[in-house]
Amino acid sequence: MQPGFVTADDVTAPGGREAGGEREERVVIALLVVACEVAFWVLLAAGLALRYVARKPKLGAAVLLCEPLLEVVLLVVTAIDLRSGAEPDWKHGLAAVYIGFTVGLGHHTIKKVDAWVAHRWFGGPPPVRPPKYGTARAIHEWRTAARWILAAVVALALLQAAVWYVGPDGAISSLRSWQQKMGLVIGINLIIAGGYTVFPKQVPKDAVTDREPADRL
């Protein structure tokens, strides 16, 4: 009787190679989301440095315009991953949410950081502070809510597209969970903005304030 030798190649790990491949794909998606977030701030810093330090505003603007490419890359890789048969999980939903929040809040974030950098180090005018009282505060809150709602709606649309893409027989519970969270974001912002409209914050009697402009979209 000939002895048999079992090698590593003869042993199939739980889930097989396909399970290992799926784990690697999930890791890639998670790392890509993190990389896009880091790259957003890196490009923002590079664009501002070119604009103010190197005195090359056109080149700095060109770098800042590269920001949307991050979302395109993230969207394409996520779609390819789903197309290859990967089961949707929280990382695919997070990718959709990241894209939505960049669409809704990215431009405003860049403008706010740009104004702060210009004032802090390059003698620019101080950034406009948000109003505190009355109708101006209510308008500010509605504009803020509009940005967050836009972000949530874009994320909801991408999540729903992923649900349709996967089909009713696929694992879509994680995508539905993210949709519920986006609905909660919309509701919270409507409540906050509505509260400042129905119950406006009144100017203290002893306060002396100038007219406070609400910030723009």
Q: Which pLDDT score, from 0 to 100, does residue 209 have? A: 55
| SS3 label, residue 42 | helix
Closest CA to 104 of 169, 178, 158, 49: 158
**Regions of the chain where pLDDT drops below 50:** 1-18, 211-212, 214, 217
Q: Which pLDDT score, from 0 to 100, does residue 14 have? A: 44
- Record the pTM: 0.75
Q: Which pLDDT score, from 0 to 100, does residue 157 have? A: 95
Contacts of 95 (CB under 8 A, 6+ apart): 29, 32, 33, 74, 75, 78
What is the per-residue pLDDT across 70-116, written as a single tens digit (0 to 9) for each? 878 888 888 777 777 777 778 888 888 989 988 999 889 888 998 99
CB 77 within 8 A of CB 28: yes
Neighbours of 169 (CB within 10 A): 6
Q: Please identify which residue in the block is written with the tokens 């700095």.
A: 60
The identity of residue 29, as a single letter, is I
Please give the radius of gyration of the chain, using alpha carbons only, rounded to the nearest integer.
Answer: 24
Q: Which pLDDT score, from 0 to 100, does residue 67 have? A: 77
Q: Which pLDDT score, from 0 to 100, does residue 20 have? A: 58
How many CA atoms are closer than 13 Å to the CA of 138, on its beta-carbon side? 11
